Amino acid sequence: MLSDKDRKKAAQKLLTAEEKKKQAVQLSTTWPDITIDDAYAIQSLVTEKKVEDGARVIGHKVGLTSKAMQRSSKIDEPDYGHLLDNMMIQTGAKVKHADYCVPRVEVELAFVLGEPLKGPGVGLLDVLRATEYVVPSLEIIDARVQDPRKIFDTVSDNGAAAGIVVGGRPVGPMDIDLRWVGGILYRNADIEETGIAAGVLGHPALGVAWLANKVGSFGTTLEPGHLILSGSFTRPVWAEPGDTLHGDFGDLGTVAVQFV
């Protein structure tokens, strides 16, 4: 367990890395005794500083929702991060590659809440009832710490959250079987990844339920209007300058972003 002083030092290290677009040495190397509780506390300190500087929390992201990713990170549950209003990007927009350290892109479904959700005890049907609509999205992830990263590094680094691109056709949560929503992720003309939303804990709404129960234990409620990225159902794809990343969600439409 780290001291409050070391947690603040770690948070500042991440803020500096993001500002300078230069990856920092892993927190787990600098502080070998770091715990998952330390990591979430550091994440909160980083988020609080950004809110002080004018950003607004608009939701959360869920990560590491597949068993394979959990095993690779040596954990047995997903993780989460905070989403801020300055992360939102319009579909089709051009973003500067230089604004990130090492950007990658994932395919996800975003849940927009119409009613509050607070754990414990939130289940699949609770999420479906509370969701106003579901919309296709791409998540830009960016590691502000060097490889190889441990789960403590990723959680401290806000789950690597860096950008959210939404688009396509919003649908009601009961209008389709969300498990079978497919995603094809193109980089330029090449298909890099494919997957279906059932890869997220068996149903993407279960990613939201896990989040509500996890943050509910800290007294946090998922608020109406908040956007929840339920977890990727493809592996991340690297983005280089000049690349266009394009997610095709079939009947739900497409989402794209270009790096310049």
Do the beta carbons of residue 147 and residue 120 sit within 8 Å?
Answer: no
Nearest alpha carbon to residue 153 among 5, 25, 21: 25
pTM: 0.95
Q: Which bin fits 140, alpha (ψ -120 to 50), beta or left (φ > 0)?
A: beta
Report d(CA 94, CA 259) in Å as an integer.
6
Model confidence over 185-194: pLDDT tens digits?
999 999 999 9
Please give the C-alpha separations between residue 187 and each of 122, 225, 241, in angstroms, as whole numbers.
37, 31, 12
Domain 57-259 has CATH 3.40.190.10: no
Model confidence over 149-181: pLDDT tens digits?
999 999 999 999 999 999 999 999 999 999 999
Report d(CA 180, CA 196) in Å as an integer.
6
Tokens of 119: 């754990």
> For position 76, what pLDDT does the model report?
60
Do the beta carbons of residue 66 and residue 72 sit within 8 Å?
Answer: no
Q: What is the mean pLDDT of the chain?
A: 95
Nearest alpha carbon to residue 163 among 214, 207, 121, 104: 104
**What residue ranges do the domains of the chain occupy?**
57-259
Model confidence over 115-139: pLDDT tens digits?
999 999 999 999 999 999 999 999 9
> For position 69, what pLDDT does the model report?
55
Q: At CB < 8 A and 24+ separation, what contacts does 45-52 make? A: 45/7, 45/8, 45/11, 46/11, 46/14, 46/15, 46/156, 46/158, 47/82, 47/84, 47/158, 49/11, 49/15, 50/84, 51/84
Q: How many CB atoms lie within 10 A of CB 121?
A: 10
Model confidence over 200-257: pLDDT tens digits?
999 999 999 999 999 999 899 999 999 999 999 999 999 999 999 999 999 999 999 9
Nearest alpha carbon to residue 214 among 111, 14, 113, 63: 63
Look-up of token digits 């754990």 = 119
